[in-house]
Structure 1
Amino acid sequence: MDTQEDKVGFTPFAEILNGRLAMLGLAIGFLTELMTGKGILSQLGLM
């Protein structure tokens, strides 16, 4: 019988995906700030 690895927790796949999504979110945040001229807090109406 084959053994299966856990699919939850700190697996290499989950960490790579999390890192890529974080980089994507940061890049989108920077681009939005450049396009609007406002920071994220100003865009959300918090400042």
Structure 2
Amino acid sequence: MTQIQPTTTPKLENPKFGFNDYAERLNGRAAMIGFVATLIVEYVTGQGLLTWLGLI
């Protein structure tokens, strides 16, 4: 006996929160921007980030 295959693909909504592709992509982009900003601050000030923040 053969199984009947569906003729249309259901349209599923993307989750609004949690671990999904959009959230992971956004988080990765924010991390890259933060890392580049840290490098720019270190280059411009001539000090490391911890020194710039006054922690050392």
Identity %: 43
- Runs of 4+ more than 4 Å apart: none
**Largest Rg, 1 or 2:** 2
Query: What is the aligned length?
Result: 46
TM-score, normalized by length of structure 1? 0.86
RMSD of aligned Cα (Å) = 1.4
TM-score, normalized by length of structure 2? 0.74
Could you say which structure has the greater relative contact order, defined with CA pairs below 8 angstroms and 6 or more residues apart?
1
Which runs of 5 or more residues in structure 1 are unaligned?
none
Counting helix residues as a fraction of each chain, which structure ranks higher? 1
